[in-house]
């Protein structure tokens, strides 16, 4: 009797890449930098309380403590299950959206193999759960783009994980889903679609204006969590006067997303790698949406759906990321991992949209 096993070279290669990043994270990165709370979670011991259902840290202590107890604390074996979870999530997402049919496999492999993205989602960390809800919501949002409005059980799981780990993201994700449905089903003309999109954006700006005093107060509190004395910040407080948070938001959002500044890249090798990775990733994003720039700059046309929905979800999440990433490049890169896979899917969606459109013509 003959047995055969067909191996998908793409996913086998990605598994090897993921495993390499796991080895690198534990054997190299963990010794020259810090792996967040990974060691704390895996060393928490058996710790089951009712708070695991509503507190993300308690849940991580419970899961990490159990696995760390079984496999001897922080090591390659104890982190391997988390690497496998993230590998499976990425694999499921790519296959669910059939992206390899429209996107070059080598390009796709490079995009999903970015160093910091793989490092932080290959160890015991909250970022794995950020990856999970980003993947599920990304699939749901792209299905909505394609007029597939079925909400499945997995979407409720994503809702729970998002509210547990990053509840601040959900209002923008929900708005994006509603806006896609409204534009697809209620408005037929480009002017109407653009109009409702501008209305949604205007409502967000109005809400932000009405809450400006509360936001300013919150911004003043943020720097306390990134004090120079505790070495959690490498930058000075930039919000010294009223409304500095808003005035410096455009550049601050970009800096928080990008991570290290040029001077920080020169001073520290790990920051140099992170900065080059961010530059490379932004270049990939620009490549994926180059058709939009072409239509806007050459033909003076705006795609109402992409402009409206992406403005809300991408700018909204980056605005929320801004206070968490502006004071420390390491925190900026790490926290970015919670939503970067969602951004990857959104930009891939633009590329696939124009690829299908070109094939139809």
The per-residue pLDDT of the chain, averaged, comes to 90
Spatial neighbors of 232 by CB under 8 A, at least 6 apart, are 225, 226, 327, 328, 331
Percent of the chain with pLDDT over 90: 66
pLDDT of residue 234: 65
Cβ atoms of residues 238 and 247 within 8 Å: no
- Residue-wise pLDDT tens digits, 8-33: 899 999 999 999 999 999 998 877 77
pLDDT of residue 74: 84
Under the banding of pLDDT at 50, 70 and 90, the label for residue 115 is very high
User: How far is residue 249's CA from residue 243's CA, in Å, rounded to a whole number?
Assistant: 10
What pTM was estimated for this model as a whole? Answer: 0.93
User: How far is residue 326's CA from residue 248's CA, in Å, rounded to a whole number?
Assistant: 10
User: How far is residue 143's CA from residue 137's CA, in Å, rounded to a whole number?
Assistant: 10
Spatial neighbors of 122 by CB under 8 A, at least 6 apart, are 18, 21, 22, 25, 79, 82, 83, 86
- Residue-wise pLDDT tens digits, 39-84: 889 988 888 889 999 999 999 999 999 999 999 888 999 999 999 9
CA-to-CA separations, 227 to 222, 236, 240, 246, 310, in angstroms, rounded? 9, 9, 15, 21, 34
Query: Is the model's pLDDT at 259 over the cut of 50?
Result: yes
pLDDT of residue 229: 46
Query: Is the model's pLDDT at 296 over the cut of 90?
Result: no
Percent of the chain with pLDDT over 70: 95
Query: Is the model's pLDDT at 319 over the cut of 70?
Result: yes
Cβ atoms of residues 165 and 338 within 8 Å: yes
| Sign of the torsion formed by the C-alpha atoms of 12, 18, 22 and 28 | positive
User: How far is residue 278's CA from residue 260's CA, in Å, rounded to a whole number?
Assistant: 9
């Amino acid at each position: 009797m003959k047995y055969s096993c067909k191996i998908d070279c793409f996913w086998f290669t990605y598994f090897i890449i993921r495993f390499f990043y796991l080895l690198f994270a534990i054997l190299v990165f963990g010794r020259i930098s810090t792996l967040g709370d990974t060691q704390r979670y895996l060393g928490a011991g058996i710790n089951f309380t009712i708070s695991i259902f509503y507190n993300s840290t308690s849940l991580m202590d419970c899961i990490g403590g159990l696995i760390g107890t079984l496999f001897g604390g922080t090591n390659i074996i104890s982190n391997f299950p988390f690497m496998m979870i993230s590998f499976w999530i990425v694999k499921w997402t790519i296959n669910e959206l059939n992206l390899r049919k429209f996107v070059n496999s080598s390009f796709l492999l490079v995009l999903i193999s970015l160093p910091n993205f793989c490092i932080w989602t290959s160890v015991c960390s909250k970022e794995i759960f950020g990856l999970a809800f980003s993947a599920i919501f990304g699939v749901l949002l792209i299905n909505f783009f394609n007029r597939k409005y079925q909400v499945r059980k997995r979407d409720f799981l994503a809702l729970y994980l998002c509210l547990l780990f990053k509840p601040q993201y959900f209002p923008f994700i929900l708005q994006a889903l509603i806006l896609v449905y409204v534009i697809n089903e209620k408005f037929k003309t480009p002017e109407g679609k653009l109009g409702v999109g501008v209305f949604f954006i205007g409502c967000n700006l109005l809400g932000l204006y009405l809450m400006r005093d509360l936001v300013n107060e919150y911004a003043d509190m943020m720097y306390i969590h990134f004090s120079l004395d505790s070495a959690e910040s490498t930058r000075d407080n930039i919000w010294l006067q009223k409304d500095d948070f808003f005035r410096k938001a455009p550049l601050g959002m970009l800096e928080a997303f990008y991570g290290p500044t040029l001077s920080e890249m020169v001073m520290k090798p790990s920051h140099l790698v992170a900065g080059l990775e961010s530059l490379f990733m932004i270049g990939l994003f620009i490549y994926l949406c180059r058709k939009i720039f072409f239509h806007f700059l050459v033909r003076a046309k705006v795609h109402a759906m992409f402009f409206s929905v992406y403005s809300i979800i991408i700018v909204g999440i980056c605005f929320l990321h801004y206070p968490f990433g502006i004071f420390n490049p390491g925190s900026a890169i790490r926290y970015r991992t919670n939503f970067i896979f969602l951004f990857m899917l959104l930009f891939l969606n633009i590329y696939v949209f124009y690829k299908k459109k070109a094939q139809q013509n």
